[in-house]
Structure 1
Amino acid sequence: MTYGQIAAYAGSPRGARQVVRILHSMSSKHDLPWHRVVNSEGKIGFKDEGQYNHQQHLLLSEGVLLNEKGKIDLELYLHQPFTTAEEL
């Protein structure tokens, strides 16, 4: 999923940055799958090389591939738990 997608499902479509903060601060305590969340372009959001490589490794270990530009094919991998507004 993307940060913005999670924010929208949570009822705050402009809250992508809040999702980043929550995942950063709560992932280890609540065992959240933070590594499965990317930005709207399908890219890993970390600027730090160590964190970037760690997330990339976790994604690759689950079979999620990044292209030569470091992007995930969102058409292939994007998780969409709801398909219609009625399911929200």
Structure 2
Amino acid sequence: MHHPGPPRFMSTGETTQLAPRDPDPGGSYEWRVVTAPPDSDATVGETPVTEFTPDVPGRYRIGLAAPDGDHALTIRAFPAAYEGVDVAGGSGEA
């Protein structure tokens, strides 16, 4: 089985490795970005084991064509930082 695994949750700018679960050294693999947020320019590499870095927040669907068929991986990317948002719930005053 070559499925790339369960959904992933990460920050924009963070890099994750993409790999078939059990790669066949003689097999042919092709990664592609199936869907991405409208402003995204993110791409995937051309090797069986490659990296992906989401560039804008949103949902990405990454496809893998493998010897046993087509597979898909969902990646949800969140903003790298929430500037100006008080995540602690305090007033910011001591």
TMscore range, shorter length:
under 0.3
TM-score where L is the length of structure 2 = 0.23
Which one has a larger percent helix, Structure 1 or Structure 2?
A: 1
Q: Which has the higher contact order (CA 8 A, sep 6+)?
A: 2
TM-score, normalising length: structure 1: 0.24
- State the structure with more CA Rg: 2
Write 1 or 2 for the structure with the bigger share of strand: 2
